Amino acid sequence: MTPDVCIYHANCDDGFAAAYAVWKRFGDAVEYVPCQYGQDTPDVTGKDVLIVDFSFKKDVMNEIADAAKRVIVLDHHKTAEAELEGFMKLECAGGPFEKRYADRMMSGVGVCFDMEKSGCRLAWEYCFGNEPMPDWFAAVEDRDLWRFDLRGTKEICIAIRSMPRDFELWDMFTAERLANEGVAIRRYVDMIVSNICDTAFEEDVAGHRVPVAACSYDFVSEVAHELLNRNPEAPFAACVVRTYDGVTYSLRSMDDRMDVSEIAKDNGGGGHRNAAGFRVAA
């Protein structure tokens, strides 16, 4: 299935890397649409739709399924698992995934779900099967799953976030170049994160008194995790991103603290156990 539309997770390196994998395979023939929880869905009437590193609530997914020709969803967020229950399950392993499954689907929704993989890995496997991924994909996955098992992950990902989200620019990335550039950028980001955390305050979020800081999407993970370190008794930490049309709450936790995916889900959002978010419209 060559998609007409690719919907991907907005304001997320993993989401844009997933969209990049689709672009690398299908190019500019596809319309690329960033989306986040609480945002209106694009018009997909009669179109083949590929959703990467993201999914919608079940009622919205049913509406999309009714309007679209075919829909493939590649996701790994914990909250998506229940919402995608009942749709056709597709194996994620092997490849190319596109040729194994999508071309056989005449209609409906097919789902590939795997919490052990990042969105960009799932998208790459969909498009290219077992072909080697770009070397910097491993760092994006390592950070998105918050493992940090690989050397240079923080530097590579900070360097990526210093760049515009442009497919042709990202096509020139190499892990070595990004790691080298990221060393100095990381020092600066660490200082900014510390300064933002110094301005944090306590606020009730979903009925819990937690440390909160206001910042841009670029720093939410680092800031929220630093707040967790500074507030070991807090059930979780939150960052708020205010825009003209509402407020996004980005929540972060640890394995021995609250499951923030449940809080996000209860408020119309989603995500992982220790990293989730939701949006409140203005």
Going from N- to C-terminal start, the domains of the chain cover 5-133, 200-281
Q: Which of 258, 255, 221, 261 is nearest to 239 (CA)?
A: 221
User: Residue 40 pLDDT > 90, yes or no?
Assistant: no
Tell me the pLDDT of the chain averaged across its residues. Answer: 93
List 280's β-bridge partners, or say none: 247
Confidence of residue 92 (pLDDT cuts 50, 70, 90): low
pLDDT of res. 89: 86
Nearest residue to 71 (alpha-carbon basis) of 62, 80, 59: 62
pLDDT range class, residue 88, cuts 50, 70, 90: confident
Query: pLDDT confidence of 96, banded at 50, 70, 90?
Result: low
Residue 97 has pLDDT above 60, yes or no: no
pLDDT band at 90 (very low <50, low <70, confident <90, very high): confident
Cβ-contact 32, 26 below 8 angstroms: no
pTM attached to this predicted model: 0.88
Instruction: Return the pLDDT at 100.
Output: 53
Q: Are strands 275-281 and 270-271 parallel, antiparallel or unpaired?
A: antiparallel
Q: Could you report how far apart the first and last alpha carbons of the chain are, in Å?
A: 38
Per residue in 193-221, pLDDT (tens digit) is: 999 999 999 999 999 999 999 999 999 99
- Percent of the chain, pLDDT > 90? 82
User: Which tens digits make up the pLDDT trace of 43-80?
Assistant: 999 999 999 999 999 999 999 999 999 999 999 999 89
pLDDT digits (tens, 9 = 90+) for 5-34: 999 999 999 999 999 999 999 999 999 999
Question: 275 - beta bridge partners?
Answer: 252
Q: How far apart are alpha carbons 85 and 72 in whole angstroms?
A: 14
In the numeric block, the tokens 């649409």 are attached to 33
- Listed in sequence order, the DSSP H helices in 199-258 are 220-230
Give residues with Cβ within 8 angstroms of 282, minimum separation 6.
244, 245, 246, 247
Joined tokens for residue 274: 């220790």
**Among 3.10.310.30, 3.40.50.720, 3.10.20.810, 3.60.150.10, what is the CATH number of 200-281?**
3.10.310.30
Q: What angle do CA 119, 121, 125 make, to 5 degrees?
A: 120
Query: What's the token pair of residue 174?
Result: 């190499």
Task: Tell me what pLDDT residue 103 has.
Answer: 53
Residue 272's SS3 state is: coil
**Res 82: pLDDT:** 85
